[in-house]
Amino acid sequence: MNSISRRIADELGVREQQVNATVELLDEGATVPFIARYRKEVTGSLDDSQLRSLEERLRYLRELEDRRSTILNSIEEQGKLTDELRASINDADTKNRLEDLYLPYKPKRRTKAQIAREAGLEPLADALYEDPTQDPETTAQGYLNAEAGVDDTKAALDGARYILMERFAEDAELLGSLRDFIWQEGQLKVSVIEGKETEGAKFRDYFDHVEPLKKVPSHRALAILRGRNEGILAYTLVVGDADEDRRAPHPAEQRIAAHWNIRDNGRAADKWLSEVVRWTWRVKLSTQIETDLMAQVREAAETEAINVFAANLKDLLLLAPAGPRPTLGLDPGLRTGVKVAVIDGTSQVVGHGAIYPHAPKNQWDPSIEQLAKWCRDYKIELIAIGNGTASRETEKLVADLCKRYPELKLARIVVSESGASVYSASEFASRELPDLDVTIRGAVSIARRLQDPLAELVKIEPKAIGVGQYQHDVNQVRLSR
């Protein structure tokens, strides 16, 4: 725990005692808002932003430590834990690095490489790797084993290739190096799936799209990922022209060969070893690294999207309240009419109803008269108009009302109605307004949002307020936090 506290303190630029005090409060069940507001003297006045970062890093590093412990125990039970390996695992500072180190020891289903080892082909793989002057076909003759299914030299060499491919692909240093290389040099190439052009028209910007992987902004990344999930788009990672010409060696293959000291010097086994390297990249590593890096892109995009959502939500919650002034809330609609809620200065519902100024009923003048009556009877000062369907038409109606009856001295404001329908059908609304129809509850919410945005919006799930980008695509647990 001390090492975690030290690390967080260094990252945030605060004292370790502040981190320890905050961790203790979090472990006791205190929330970040509570600590930020009521425990400043304990945390040394850490602000809410520092506390949120601290909580996130604490969660990540504790998960990292739990996984580290599990991996060490697993390798130790296999009797393969060396001092050098233990040191490498203890030094791993990311989950990716930890999993790369664990890969060769991770219990897995019987692989082709394992079957080849059981058939006695590992010495053949070692011989060709360590001494490329040996002829593969000739050397393989000595490893035929009909009982194990190795009937000819092709089967023997295939088995040896699988063994080397697995060995090459499970090297933690190589995996980290390749991941960094593709991240720095890779391009994200996106295309439309054939036949999906019409169905996926909203993704047309990405039908033929290429940009550097490390520079993809969060909104584009989330759009591309959504397009793929909906079966409209396909993507791949490319480096230079290697992926265009499948016959040319991929730059990653060159790095694998260099890491394992494999060179084509015209020796008998050099061509076979080069083919092993090619297969290692094309069959085992390219998809794995693409998956890892796209997960990294998604995580970064989700973090950015959640931060945007949080900032927008904060701005919305902290909008200046109109105050305790009698307000008329209008929830616009066409065929179903405009729902009206009359709210007094204490936010209580004192009247409600519906008017039908728009098509098909077109009761324009009667609607204005009814609104004027409510305004006179309840001394209304403000009219809050929801910004949904028929909002402009309803605003025009209220403008006409103000023009006809200037003595009412009304002020009209268009209010975001995001989440009003969710609130109106919620259990909270049922308890708060049990005698009102769900359609009227929406108008009540719109009026109260103008009087006191914070008091009204906190009743609604944040994600239902709709102030973020792709908020339904991101990790919902992180979004809720």
Average pLDDT of the segment spanning 54-70: 94
Q: Name residue, tokens 């809050």.
A: 384
- Shortest CA distance to 387 belongs to which of 334, 446, 335? 446
Percent of the chain surpassing pLDDT 90: 74
- Determine the pLDDT at residue 379: 95
Checking DSSP bridges between strand 411-415 and strand 382-386, what pairing results, if any? parallel
- Determine the pLDDT at residue 152: 93
Q: pLDDT tens across 340-349, in order?
A: 999 999 999 9
Q: pLDDT tens across 348-376, in order?
A: 999 999 999 999 999 999 999 999 999 99
| 3-class DSSP assignment, residue 371 | helix
Q: What is the H or E stretch that residue 221 is in? A: helix 218-229
Q: Residue 138 CB: number of other CB atoms within 10 A?
A: 10
| 3-class DSSP assignment, residue 415 | strand
The residue ranges of every structural domain in the chain are 2-105, 112-311, 327-451
pTM across the whole model: 0.73
Question: Crossing angle for the helix pair 16-27 and 2-12, nearest 10 degrees?
Answer: 120
- Determine the pLDDT at residue 420: 83
* Measured distance between the N- and C-terminal CA atoms of the chain, rounded to whole angstroms: 23
Question: Which pair of structure tokens corresponds to residue 10?
Answer: 């260094």
Phi and psi at residue 460, in whole multiples of 5°?
A: -110, 140
Beta partners for residue 353, in sequence order: 340
Burial of 130 (C-beta count, 10 Å sphere; 0-12/13-18/19+): exposed
- Determine the pLDDT at residue 97: 92
- Shortest CA distance to 74 belongs to which of 98, 96, 107? 107
Average pLDDT of the segment spanning 301-312: 85
- Determine the pLDDT at residue 240: 75
CA–CA gap between residue 75 and residue 66 (Å, rounded): 15
Average pLDDT of the segment spanning 309-324: 85
- Shortest CA distance to 460 belongs to which of 413, 424, 415, 414? 424
Rg from Cα positions in the chain: 33
Give the residue with greater pLDDT, 2 vs 40. 40
Average pLDDT of the segment spanning 39-63: 91
Q: What is the H or E stretch that residue 209 is in? A: strand 208-212
Q: Name residue, tokens 């098509």.
A: 359
- Shortest CA distance to 340 belongs to which of 394, 379, 416, 409? 394
- Determine the pLDDT at residue 468: 63
From residue 30, give the alpha-carbon distance in Å to each of 34, 35, 462: 6, 7, 21
- Determine the pLDDT at residue 469: 63
Looking at domain 2-105, its CATH superfamily turns out to be RuvA domain 2-like (1.10.10.650)
Q: Residue 399 CB: number of other CB atoms within 10 A?
A: 12
From residue 368, give the alpha-carbon distance in Å to each of 165, 397, 445: 79, 7, 22
CA–CA gap between residue 439 and residue 448 (Å, rounded): 15
Question: Which pair of structure tokens corresponds to residue 117?
Answer: 């080892």
CATH of 112-311 given 1.10.3470.10, 3.40.50.620, 1.10.3500.10, 1.10.3190.10: 1.10.3500.10
* pLDDT band with cut points at 50, 70 and 90 for residue 473: confident
Cis, bond preceding 360 (omega within 30 deg of 0): yes
Question: Crossing angle for the helix pair 270-279 and 251-259, nearest 10 degrees?
Answer: 120
Given a cut of 90, is residue 463 above it in pLDDT?
A: no
**Is domain 327-451 given the CATH code 3.30.420.140 in the classification?**
yes
- Determine the pLDDT at residue 244: 52
- Shortest CA distance to 470 belongs to which of 344, 345, 301? 301
Say if residues 327 and 447 touch (Cβ distance below 8 Å): yes
Say if residues 274 and 163 touch (Cβ distance below 8 Å): no
From residue 326, give the alpha-carbon distance in Å to each of 259, 349, 446, 448: 75, 10, 13, 10
* pLDDT band with cut points at 50, 70 and 90 for residue 458: confident
Give the residue with greater pLDDT, 318 vs 135. 135
Given a cut of 90, is residue 265 above it in pLDDT?
A: yes
Helices and strands of the chain, counted as H and E runs? 24, 8
Biggest CA–CA distance in the chain, Å, is 106
CA–CA gap between residue 208 and residue 204 (Å, rounded): 8
Q: pLDDT tens across 328-342, in order?
A: 999 999 988 999 999
CA dihedral 261, 267, 272, 275 (to 10 degrees): 50
Given a cut of 90, is residue 33 above it in pLDDT?
A: no
Question: Which pair of structure tokens corresponds to residue 465?
Answer: 């307020």
Q: Which residues contact 263 (CB under 8 A, 6 or more apart)?
A: 257, 270
Given a cut of 90, is residue 164 above it in pLDDT?
A: yes
Phi and psi at residue 437, in whole multiples of 5°?
A: -65, 150
**Which range has the top average pLDDT, 276-280, 316-320, 388-392?**
276-280
Question: Which pair of structure tokens corresponds to residue 213?
Answer: 């992987």
Buried b (16+ CB within 10 A) or exposed e, 17-32: ebbbbbbebbeeeeeb
Give the residue with greater pLDDT, 474 vs 96. 96
Half-sphere exposure of 119 (CA within 13 A, CB side): 30
